A and B are shown apart, each in its own frame.
Chain A
Amino acid sequence: MRISKLVFKNMTRHKLRSFLTIVGIAIAVIAFGLLRTLVDAWYAGVDASAVNRLITRNAVSFILPLPYSYRDQIARVPGVENVTFANWFQGVYIDQEQFFARLAIDADTYLNNFPEFLVDPDQVEAFKNERNACIIGERIAVTYNLKLGDIMPIEGDIYPGSYEFVVRAIYRPRDTKTDATQMLFHWQYLDERVKQIAPERAGSIGWYVITISDPDKAAQVSDAIDALFANSRAETKTETEAAFQQSFVSMSGAIITAMNFVSFVIIGIILLVLGNTMVMTARERIGEYAVIKTLGFTKGHIITLIAGESLAISVLGGALGLVLTYPIVDVFGAALPSGWFPVFEVKPETVVQSVSSALAVGVLAAVFPVWRATSMKIVDGLRQIG
């Protein structure tokens, strides 16, 4: 027999209590993992941002357009490698519930700026050669069972009218951080329609996407671009893609702060659950600790017995919670309205936080019982027997 066996036997002494504590920890770890995943999903756009991409938008508001004519001027700014643009189209596909990004883009240049969208070159060519062609993300293709050659009918809202797009390419995400839920089509196609229905809105785009040669010079390049259009009818605001994405996240700042707070409150709850169990356990066994100290066991052995049991319970609860977090996050993600969170998955950081929290809780929950058992005089412990 090793002392670890005694730890295990002690843990199974009150099976129901240990089981309930393990389940309690598991539920808390699941809740923690789910909340962290939700917070991470909010930041997915920020995380996926490329360090060498800038976004130039209208300085007044993101929803106001910029002239298409800015493009060449931006391209001439030192440090700019590529310039492309996009325009929020939105529209209704099937019904209002089906939400995902639908963007009008410059078909010739857009994909050059987004190497994380992996597309078959033949499909790219097919997309470029057809005016009403579109590229869709892999997840959209799966969700709506779309394949190459299928028609996507979309009813315009910001740009009224009926549109029909032919799926000519399906992109794959380069990694799990990449949004695979976008639908991209020719801006030129949209602009032709706009010229017919609202000529005064023609020739406008939503934002420019600029790839720069040196990420360290993002601030200088941004300033140079904005300086070009200072005091013009449509002044610009240029920032890194991460800052641009962050501005969207900031709109939900209070909710995210609350979720962050609650996720760490959950760690406190786990600590109380396990702490309560360990305090009860140590109090019940104070006589036994006195006995084994009489036999010659040292403080180190007592620490091993109590902290070992606490850690074993927390690790088991943490492991169970972690294992269950994955399917529960999947179910939760599937239950969310389509397109709310393009990336919704448990990040490695969340796993590390869950595991380290469980371990820390295991250690912390043992501190008071260990102190009590080790500082107790043997004779005082023996008096509690009988």
Chain B
Amino acid sequence: MSTANHLPIIQVENVSKSYRRDEIDIPVLSNISISVPEGEFLALMGPSGSGKTTLLNLIAGIDRPNAGQIIVNNTALGALRESALAKWRASHIGFIFQFYNLLPVLTAYENVELPLLLTNLSKKEKREHIEASLELVGLADRMDHYPKQLSGGQEQRVAIARAIVTDPTILLADEPTGDLDKKSAEDIMTLIDRLNTEFKKTIVIVTHDPRAAEKARKIMHLDKGELSS
């Protein structure tokens, strides 16, 4: 069952990307075009070095293509300058990392609060958003815990709460279960699935893990920088 409608929220058009290492151009993506409808749950799979993380980074606006264009939520990312792109990310994208990337000096509550520092919400509104997010990921009772006091699965839950606290349209997850045991990975994927089905978030995940990809409505394979299915 797909929750997607047919309006594309992410359009990747003829995108190529290469990196330059020691005077050598290393192609990573070659003329990729994909269209992701709003409400879609897409899994990008492929072996290491296939370019899936690079594609995710381009969609997130944290990297720029060498050719082609990316339009997300009707915004051509290539037209935005760095500061505008940062603001755009803050309001449209929730990013979930493989290694959670919580700030160790901040509590779970404060880590989730981080993206809200960029908003004009009142203190009360911020608290409501943070508590709702932590409640949703099942960590309402761990708000004052520091990352080192949490398990890997709990840290990833906090990272998900941080990604959704601003209520972004799109969630991007780079190997969200890559650093977790089987049980925790299942829990995280169930949570991500819920965000898609229940909260209508458009989700793109990058994963090696077929079990994680099973939750997605659509799976695309990348190989050597090209879409293979």
Which residue numbers of A lie inside 8 Å of B, CB to CB? 1-3, 5-6, 9-10, 12-13, 287-288, 291-300, 377-379, 382, 385-386
* Bound CA span A378–B64, Å: 11
Smallest CB separation, B118 vs chain A (Å): 5
* Contact, CB under 8 Å: B89 / A1: no
B105 at the interface (CB under 8 A from A): yes
B104 / chain A contacts, CB cutoff of 8 Å: 13
Q: Which of A9, A13, A294, A300 contacts B60 (CB 8 A)?
A: A294
Q: Which residue of B lies closest to A8 (CB)?
A: B105
* Bound CA span A5–B103, Å: 13
* Bound CA span A10–B88, Å: 27
B41 at the interface (CB under 8 A from A): no
B82 / chain A contacts, CB cutoff of 8 Å: 298-299
* Bound CA span A294–B105, Å: 18
Given A295-B115, A296-B115, A296-B118, the answer on whether A377 and B63 have CB atoms closer than 8 Å is yes
19 contacts between A and B (CB under 8 A): A1-B113, A9-B105, A13-B105, A288-B103, A292-B103, A293-B62, A294-B89, A295-B89, A295-B162, A296-B90, A296-B93, A297-B118, A298-B83, A378-B57, A379-B54, A379-B62, A379-B63, A382-B97, A385-B99
Q: Which of A3, A10, A13, A293 contacts B86 (CB 8 A)?
A: A293
Q: Which of A287, A299, A378 contacts B83 (CB 8 A)?
A: A299
Given A294-B62, A299-B83, the answer on whether A3 and B117 have CB atoms closer than 8 Å is yes
Give me the 6 closest cross-chain CB pairs, A-B, nearest first. Answer: A296-B90, A9-B105, A378-B62, A291-B101, A296-B89, A298-B86
* Bound CA span A299–B88, Å: 14
* Bound CA span A101–B54, Å: 81
Q: Which residue of A lies closest to B101 (CB)?
A: A291
B101 / chain A contacts, CB cutoff of 8 Å: 287-288, 291, 385
* Contact, CB under 8 Å: A10 / B105: yes
Smallest CB separation, B125 vs chain A (Å): 14
Q: Which residue of B lies closest to A285 (CB)?
A: B103
* Bound CA span A386–B179, Å: 10
* Bound CA span A1–B60, Å: 26
* Contact, CB under 8 Å: A2 / B89: no
* Bound CA span A287–B62, Å: 14
Binary contact readout B79-92 vs A (1 if CB under 8 angstroms, 0 otherwise): 00011001111110
Given A9-B106, A296-B115, the answer on whether A379 and B89 have CB atoms closer than 8 Å is no
Q: Which residue of A lies closest to B118 (CB)?
A: A296
A378 / chain B contacts, CB cutoff of 8 Å: 57, 62-63
Q: Which residue of B lies closest to A385 (CB)?
A: B99
B99 / chain A contacts, CB cutoff of 8 Å: 385-386
B88 / chain A contacts, CB cutoff of 8 Å: 296
B98 / chain A contacts, CB cutoff of 8 Å: 386
* Bound CA span A379–B117, Å: 23
* Contact, CB under 8 Å: B87 / A296: yes
* 9 more A-B residue pairs beyond the given contacts A6-B105, A295-B118, with a C-beta to C-beta distance below 8 A: A5-B110, A9-B105, A291-B97, A293-B86, A294-B60, A294-B89, A296-B93, A297-B86, A297-B90
Smallest CB separation, A41 vs chain B (Å): 46
A2 / chain B contacts, CB cutoff of 8 Å: 117
Smallest CB separation, A4 vs chain B (Å): 11
A386 / chain B contacts, CB cutoff of 8 Å: 98-99
Given A287-B101, A291-B97, A386-B98, the answer on whether A296 and B83 have CB atoms closer than 8 Å is no
* Contact, CB under 8 Å: A295 / B63: no
B86 / chain A contacts, CB cutoff of 8 Å: 293, 296-298
Binary contact readout B46-80 vs A (1 if CB under 8 angstroms, 0 otherwise): 00000000100100101100000000000000000
* Bound CA span A298–B90, Å: 10
B4 at the interface (CB under 8 A from A): no
* Bound CA span A296–B95, Å: 10
* Bound CA span A300–B113, Å: 19
A6 / chain B contacts, CB cutoff of 8 Å: 103, 105-106
A295 / chain B contacts, CB cutoff of 8 Å: 89-90, 95, 114-115, 118, 162
Q: A3, A292, A382 — which one has the most chain B CB atoms within 10 A of its CB?
A: A382
Smallest CB separation, A296 vs chain B (Å): 3
Smallest CB separation, B143 vs chain A (Å): 13
* Bound CA span A294–B82, Å: 11
* Contact, CB under 8 Å: B114 / A294: no
Smallest CB separation, B220 vs chain A (Å): 21
Q: Which residue of B lies closest to A11 (CB)?
A: B105
